[in-house]
Structure 1
Amino acid sequence: MDRAMEALDATLDGLFPRERAVVAPGAVHVPGWLSLDRQRELVAACREWGRGPTTYRHTVLPGGGVMSVRSLCLGRRWVPYRYLDAVDLEIPRWLCDLGRAGVREAYGEDLDFAPDTALVNFYDAGAGAKMGLHQDKEERSGAPVASLSLGDRCVFRFGNTENRGKPYTDVELASGDLFVFGGASRFAYHGVPKVLPGTGDPELGLAGRLNITLRETGL
């Protein structure tokens, strides 16, 4: 029944396009920002990045916990909870340009957004991968974060800047969606409590969800 309802939701989206929304001050959701062709290009790039010299890995947290998503970094490498000077894979200029375009789309103006790191997270369709509520606070820059979604839909929980509790807003992110958060919402807690398996466009050839977040470390 759940799969049938998800398929119906996807059909209804085609009839009644999802609308752009300001989820919180400085937090903007732009549905369907990426064309299908651009999504295919990004999926192909994510696969190529995973071929080496680094691969998608489960991050081990300082307390011994292991994240259920698999990740890799482009540009300055993030490890819990800091950035290293090391670079395994250069962040492509075209990806930085895409991030700048996303911020411009969200805010309607050109900002001096110069991302020097991109975190690519893969949520395995069959493994129940999710992301707990957290803050992106290792950066020394207050520049916004630009997030791109590919593949399966997810529930994206966008909270407040004080704690992991309420108030928060659940937003459904679909493949091709853009989400930008900065300003008063730059350090809001956020996470992915649920991915909806099998809801991605079959033409992408992707089982699961990919998420690319572009950030400016200020280092």
Structure 2
Amino acid sequence: MDLNGVTIHPGALDHAAQEALVADLRDVVSAAPLFHPETSRGRKMSVRMTSAGALGWVSDRRGYRYEPAHPSGVAWPPIPDRLLALWDRLADCATPPDTCLINFYGEGARMGLHQDRDEASFDFPVLSLSLGDDALFRVGGTERGGRTKSVWLSSGDVAVIGGDARLAYHGIDRTRFGSSSLLPQGGRINVTLRVAGVSAAPPS
């Protein structure tokens, strides 16, 4: 399925695979706890997040950036093997990801339209996995203010943002809290795999 150039893979992971990944992500969160990022103006975002891999994404009054350590100072844990296998299967990219962003959407959380542009190169795709509650995913073009299209993402769905759509504006307008049984207390986990580091060579 194509959504303004973003490729959607419905049901890429079955329920058993989703449960196994949630267990992996709990291990990541145990090592690098979820936190509320801040904007440069000091406003806390509604999502909580953490990361895995050589780099992790952080945001505070110094701006958006990748760092080699959690805000607490501990190193990010490694990216789970199951996620690396998903990248190999669906990203169509020989270069492995060096960062894995984990966003948790509680009731009422959302993510405004934005571009993923903090990476050193935009030649590599972003793979985004949905786990838990349904979310309304909106995608526009590479210029702010253009026409957008939306689709409901269910648990196990994967979106690959790459090629001409790599810098497309996208976001989550809302979630259907409690629509999935995957997370006992409800909510949605969004996992994104990326190649962020400056040492990465462009794909051939």
TM-score range, shorter chain: 0.7 to 0.9
Runs of 5+ in structure 1 lacking a partner?
1-20, 105-110
Which one-letter code corresponds to 2:187 in the other structure?
Answer: G
Distance 1:191 1:94 in 2: 25
- What TM-score results when the alignment is normalised by the length of structure 2? 0.86
Q: Paired residue for 1:192? A: 172
**Larger strand fraction of residues:** 1
Q: Paired residue for 2:72? A: none
Q: Is the alpha carbon distance of 1:103 and 1:206 closer, same or farther for their aligned partners in structure 2, counting shifts above 3 Å?
A: farther
Distance 2:81 2:48 in 1: 24
Query: Runs in 1 of length 4+ with deviation above 6 angstroms?
Result: none
**Alignment map for 1:9-48 (pairs within 5 Å):** 21-25=1-5, 27-48=6-27
Q: Paired residue for 1:156? A: 137
Preserved contact between residue 127 and residue 193 of structure 2 (Cα < 8 Å): yes
Is 2:72 the counterpart of 1:89? no
Is 2:86 the counterpart of 1:98? yes
If you compute each CA radius of gyration, which structure gives the higher value, 1 or 2? 1
Using the TM superposition, give the Cα deviation of residue 206 of structure 1 relative to its aligned residue in structure 2, in angstroms: 5.1
Is 2:110 the counterpart of 1:137? no
Q: Is the alpha carbon distance of 1:94 and 1:40 closer, same or farther for their aligned partners in structure 2, counting shifts above 3 Å?
A: closer
Using the TM superposition, give the Cα deviation of residue 47 of structure 1 relative to its aligned residue in structure 2, in angstroms: 1.8
Distance 2:179 2:85 in 1: 28
Deviations 1:3-27 (A, max 9, x none): xxxxxxxxxxxxxxxxxx11123x1
**Larger helix fraction of residues:** 1
What number of residue pairs does the alignment pair up? Answer: 187
Q: SS in structure 2 opposite 1:60? A: coil
RMSD over aligned Cα atoms: 1.5
Using the TM superposition, give the Cα deviation of residue 101 of structure 1 relative to its aligned residue in structure 2, in angstroms: 1.1
Distance 1:206 1:176 in 2: 18
Distance 1:133 1:159 in 2: 8
Identity percentage over the alignment? 42
Runs of 5+ in structure 2 lacking a partner?
70-74, 199-204
Using the TM superposition, give the Cα deviation of residue 209 of structure 1 relative to its aligned residue in structure 2, in angstroms: 0.4
Distance 1:130 1:63 in 2: 18
Q: Is the alpha carbon distance of 1:94 and 1:176 closer, same or farther for their aligned partners in structure 2, counting shifts above 3 Å?
A: closer
